[in-house]
A and B are shown apart, each in its own frame.
Chain A
């Protein structure tokens, strides 16, 4: 028996309060029929006896107290899934918008997913060659990892993400099984178009699922977009055994949508007005990356987030950094010097890299080289701050060497443009640069490795 309920009591932001509703379950999807016949979808977010609060995905515009009817669907929010979903373009709530008709579902899955049992996880060790020196050498991306890009407005994070997709694809051993899920949350139309065009140019478009919630699309839909995207990714990875790279941009817009929803619900705000559960909420997305036993597929995530005012301690990058396995931080001053990709090396990190590099993966000298580059570059920063106080002329000879090393490192190693470098090229370049420093300064490396790779300049 299908019942159409009337009785909207209150409308507040995207929330609709209704009374007298029986038999409703928590997080159930509700179809809302407006007076003019259009249908919108909403989700039950709170129940107090017969009074329920519905979150309307497309917004409450032109919904009135009278004439609005609600119908319970009896199901939580589900995503229709089938292998045909690859190559499709969907809106932020997972509905096709490319004019190719509905997706004929092979199965349906709850978009909230269920947590992966920690004992069923496979610890990720297989590294992804991105062809970018800084990332491959110093913050290696691992299959099954979640490695966000921390950026700011106007920086080249989109270009970097596209380059990773393009070059990672080429190096992948089994190309057939490679796929991309792209979730745009509150991005500009141009940006979405840029991604589409880049996917096309690099020939991967037919392996991409795009979910677009553009900046003028409803905010509440935005809170669903990453969940739909990850549900698709999990299906492709763990049922069709594909290697899926999920790009989610921009997580800051997502968090803002969550804040807007939370404040209209009247919840007690935490830091900067974001809801207290922001950490749990972000974790429920990021933790859906990984690999599980018995399946050869993987979900790798590259969330992109713009740090408001380039502030890494802002709640969104801060909480993200606590959940993800490292981060790639972009730096405005490097970009200002015309260097691309403007990866700020010191605050960037990959937590999973230590087990995915070295003998048998990349090269035995990889780990000591990376440590030494980090340590030496940290000294460059010290020398620079000293130079800004006492002037470059007054520096000790060794500090001057460091300044020179820093300049070379940024221009040759960090800066690489569109070039696709193999891991050997990147590592050799690293050694070449380190060799401009006196050998005694390289205190993170065993003598045995130094003998092999240190090329003395003084000869």
Chain B
């Protein structure tokens, strides 16, 4: 066996001279401490390795050992309710091993090899199985049933099977003989390379929305299950808060939250909050359906690059079981910067702003792994990607935001001015867009009725109108506007403060069901329509404002509990009575 040694070191990039046995993207161990690395370049004389840990103290002459397989993750029970670093090492286990500070070369297993799972076998001797078929199930958490699937590349006949009972993840529970007579062991886990998308049977169109309970998203800029959305925003505009809200409340079965190059304190907040929060649907802590991947900004940069793919692979694994998975990546800009940093170390020719020329293709590969599909086992699953973007200098024309815009279909632009006024979520209703309307409208029509779409279009029309009027107001003040235009501004104030603005810390307002969203829109538009009619009869708007109805509607998000939707009828009645009195 040929032994390879380090020749050069530059930051996280290590070169090996005259090596012939490595292949591209192969995972290697570097140095005496066995730091994890990946081959990222091979040429005539040199092989380039990116190392996922600090390289301080490495020496020329230290060994570099190949593993023969690409960078992969271990997939099996124990992923949910866990917190991993960028290359699927469990941080809780690392803490037990090395204390509060992360040491290098940690060799703990990704999933607990000793824990026993209560496995129920679903196949019988002689059954013919193909890739993706479920051969056993086990309860991973009280709400998630883990379904063990035949690895996609394997198929054959069951020749041996264990009885139901308790097994560890590496125990063999079944054996398959394929057409060529080879026997494959099936245990509770399998490996999968992180940069390869897992196969599906067929992709489905995006016709089911991901309900988030956030009014501005669900009504104005909805995203579908299996869709892609980008949240760009400068610092302090609430990207992370929005991601947290979505992770807490969206109606996916499983959440994969990737903290990619973000703050350590924020990750500990997520850990704290998610374990305390109770999911209203299952009455269980949020952690029972959440996987966290934490690669904070001071953890090694190469692992930051990998963390996005690790998250995606875990998400795809659960999708293949027939679950709807949403993956939050916070933030993809840090990932792009990791690409740039490594590209710079390799002295590659930079394109825009120092980013490598392959940035757009990497971004599109990433977002294309989202989708709703019929998976191999026959069920339906989806992966929805919601990526935060942190544009440099809050300038949306920078390369990461621009390229992300090309590959995502939902764009929730966060606005500094709104954030300064503490209007959260600070999603700007003029700059944002969703391309899913046409795909999703049939669903909304079926489940919420045609009027939902009608109300939404009207609200969005009024907001556009207001934005146009505000241009005039900025120049000459609001006093000179005619009353019907003043009414638009007044109604839009209610829409902005009473509807679009949502308080994440208010027990009722943090998650609002679609039904209530619809009734809120209905009530606001009812007032608008009524008032419009009265104004056309030359009643001055000041008289209508005096009635206090606009202020009352501004606060209805707090005043009407989510389970008292009947109260909207009283509101409508009150509007009618008060307005009739001045007509």
Contacts and interface: CB of A to CB of B under 8 A. Distances in A.
Interface of A: 22-28, 45-50, 76, 110, 112-124, 144-145, 238, 267-271, 275-277, 279-280, 283-284, 286-290, 292-295, 313-315, 318-319, 321-323, 325-327, 346-347, 349, 351-352, 354-355, 367, 371, 374-375, 378-379, 385-386, 389-390, 394-396, 399, 440, 443-444, 446-447
Contacts of B100: 116-117, 120, 238, 292-295
A162 to B, nearest CB: 26
**Top 5 A-B residue pairs of the complex, sorted by shortest distance between their CB atoms:** A313-B393, A283-B297, A378-B421, A287-B298, A321-B235
A156 B399 CA distance: 36
B8 interface: yes
A48 B13 CA distance: 11
Contacts of B417: 378
Q: For chain A, what secondary structure do more than half of its interface residues adopt (helix, strand, loop), or is it mixed?
A: mixed
Given A144-B265, A277-B341, A120 B477 contact: no
Contact of A76 (B57, B61, B421): B57
Most buried by A among B8, B17, B259, B551: B8
Nearest to A76: B56
Interface in B52-73: 54-61
Contacts of B54: 112, 114
B447 interface: no
B549 interface: no
A25 B390 contact: no
Interface in B399-447: 416-417, 420-423
A283 B298 contact: yes
B264 interface: yes
A47 to B, nearest CB: 4
Interface stretch (B88-96, B161-169, B452-460): B88-96
Interface residues of B, number: 83
A343 B55 CA distance: 42
A116 B264 contact: yes
B558 interface: yes
B232 to A, nearest CB: 13
Contact of B476 (A390, A443, A447): A390
Interface in B377-394: 390, 392-394
Given A110-B56, A118-B83, A443-B551, A277 B344 contact: yes
Given A118-B83, A119-B95, A268 B344 contact: yes
Interface stretch (B211-219, B266-274, B364-372): B266-274
Interface in B276-311: 294, 296-299, 301
B486 to A, nearest CB: 11
A27 B56 contact: yes
B398 to A, nearest CB: 9
Contact of B8 (A48, A270, A354): A48
A123 B268 contact: yes
B392 A123 contact: no
Given A24-B60, A294-B100, A443-B497, A46 B265 contact: no
Contacts of B397: none
Given A113-B101, A290-B264, A315 B505 contact: no
Contact of B9 (A22, A46, A114, A121): A46
Nearest to A320: B235
B236 A114 contact: no
B344 A390 contact: no
A289 B394 CA distance: 25
A195 B341 CA distance: 37
Contact of B91 (A50, A117, A267, A325): A117
A276 B420 contact: no
B101 A119 contact: no
Contacts of B343: 276
B146 to A, nearest CB: 23
B91 A118 contact: yes
A386 to B, nearest CB: 6
B297 A47 contact: no
Q: Is the interface of B mostly helix, strand, loop or mixed?
A: mixed
Nearest to A21: B60
Contacts of A325: 263, 265-266
Contacts of B353: 270-271
Contacts of B350: 268
A40 B241 CA distance: 49
A23 B92 CA distance: 36
Looking at B7, B268, B296, the one whose CB has the most chain A CB atoms below 10 A away is B268
Given A374-B420, A443-B554, 16 more contacts: A48-B15, A110-B56, A112-B56, A116-B264, A120-B99, A144-B265, A280-B338, A287-B298, A289-B265, A290-B264, A313-B394, A313-B395, A318-B235, A347-B420, A399-B477, A440-B548
A276 B60 contact: no
Given A26-B56, A280-B297, A444 B422 contact: yes
Nearest to A282: B297
A354 to B, nearest CB: 7
A294 B268 CA distance: 15
B340 interface: yes
17 contacts: A25-B57, A47-B8, A76-B56, A114-B104, A115-B102, A115-B264, A116-B100, A117-B102, A122-B268, A280-B337, A287-B264, A323-B263, A346-B421, A347-B420, A354-B505, A443-B551, A444-B422
Nearest to B333: A322
A279 B344 CA distance: 14
Given A24-B60, A378-B420, A347 B265 contact: no
B474 A385 contact: yes
A121 B57 contact: no
A271 B392 contact: yes
Contacts of A276: 337, 340-341, 343-344, 354
Contacts of B558: 446
A28 B55 CA distance: 11
B10 interface: yes
Contacts of B225: none
Contacts of A115: 101-102, 264, 296, 298-299
Nearest to A440: B551
B334 interface: yes
Contacts of A375: 421-423
B55 A267 contact: no
Contacts of A144: 265
B475 interface: yes
A144 B101 CA distance: 16
A318 B236 contact: no
B347 interface: yes
B56 A124 contact: no
Contact of B55 (A26, A349, A396): A26
A26 B59 contact: yes
Contacts of B548: 440
B227 interface: no
B209 interface: no
Given A47-B9, A122-B268, A367 B505 contact: yes
B261 interface: yes
A26 B394 CA distance: 37
Contacts of A313: 392-395
A10 to B, nearest CB: 16
B464 interface: no
A318 B393 contact: yes
B488 to A, nearest CB: 17
A443 B11 CA distance: 53
Contacts of A390: 475-477
B448 interface: no
A224 to B, nearest CB: 14
B288 to A, nearest CB: 17
A118 B57 contact: no
